[in-house]
Amino acid sequence: DTGVSQDPRHKITKRGQNVTFRCDPISEHNRLYWYRQTLGQGPEFLTYFQNEAQLEKSRLLSDRFSAERPKGSFSTLEIQRTEQGDSAMYLCASSFLGAAGTQYFGPGTRLLVL
Amino acid sequence: DQQVKQNSPSLSVQEGRISILNCDYTNSMFDYFLWYKKYPAEGPTFLISISSIKDKNEDGRFTVFLNKSAKHLSLHIVPSQPGDSAVYFCAASANAGGTSYGKLTFGQGTILTVHP
C-alpha cells in the first residue's frame, strides 16, 4: 500500500498528558499537511511542511502543539498537556509540489481526552 | 470567517437519479477547487478537482462545475448509487505563485444519502 499512513488510529488519554502522532506520507510527496476535524465540521488546517521546512502554521496551533518532519519523510505531531477541547480527528495529507493542489489524506488518528 | 460554505447539511436522493451538491466561497484568491468524499472513521478521499481556468471538469459519473462570477461550485453525480452515500466536502486552495499551492480550506460538508 503506497497511501498515507497514520499511527495510532485511536488514542485515549487523560487530560494533562502528552500525546504524539505519526504520519508517513506517500513516498514521492515532498509536502505534508496536518489538519484537525471535529464533529460536524470540515477539516481545519494546522500546519504544513515542504521537505523538512515548516512553511505555515495556523493560529489554531497553540504553543502546546508542535510538529516536526526531521528528515523530510515522516512527520510527528505532539500535543502537550492535553485538554478536553483537543479531542478530534487529526488528519495528515501529502502532495507533490508541482502537481497542482491535490492532497491525499491518511485514515486519521482519533484522539479522545478524558 | 467561513470562507468556504456548504449550506445544505444533508441531501437525500433516489438511486439512479442525479445528486447535486453545492458549495460557495468568498475568497477571490482561491483558484483551485476540490471535492472529497468521507466515510465515518476514515480520512477524506479525493474525488475530482477543477482549476479556475475551467468551468467544468468531468470524471466518469462525477462532474464539477465552477461559476467564478458567482463564486459557486457544484458536484453532480449521475447516476447516484447507494455506495455514494457519504459526507462530501468541497475544498479550495490559492496558488501562492507558480505551482505552489498550500493549505486547503474546507466547507462543513454535506451528508449524501442515496436510497435504493
Q: In a structure prediction context, what are the per-residue pLDDT tens digits for chain B, which is 116 residues long?
A: 789 999 999 999 999 999 999 999 999 999 899 999 999 888 999 999 999 999 999 999 999 999 999 999 999 999 999 999 999 999 999 876 655 668 899 999 999 999 99
Q: Which residues of A touch B43 (CB under 8 A)?
A: 4, 6, 91, 93, 105-108
Q: B96: nearest CA in chain A?
A: A101
pLDDT digits (tens, 9 = 90+) for A10-67: 999 999 999 999 999 999 898 999 999 999 899 999 999 999 999 889 988 889 999 9
| Residue contact A104–B46, C-beta within 8 A | yes
C-alpha–C-alpha distance, residues B99 and A104, integer Å: 17
Inter-residue contact B106 to B4 (CB < 8 Å): yes
- What does DSSP say about strands B110-115 and B10-14: parallel, antiparallel, or unpaired? parallel
Nearest to B32 by CA among B76, B78, B70, B64: B64
C-alpha–C-alpha distance, residues B85 and A8, integer Å: 27
| Residue contact B44–A48, C-beta within 8 A | no
Number of Cβ pairs closer than 8 Å across A and B?
Answer: 72
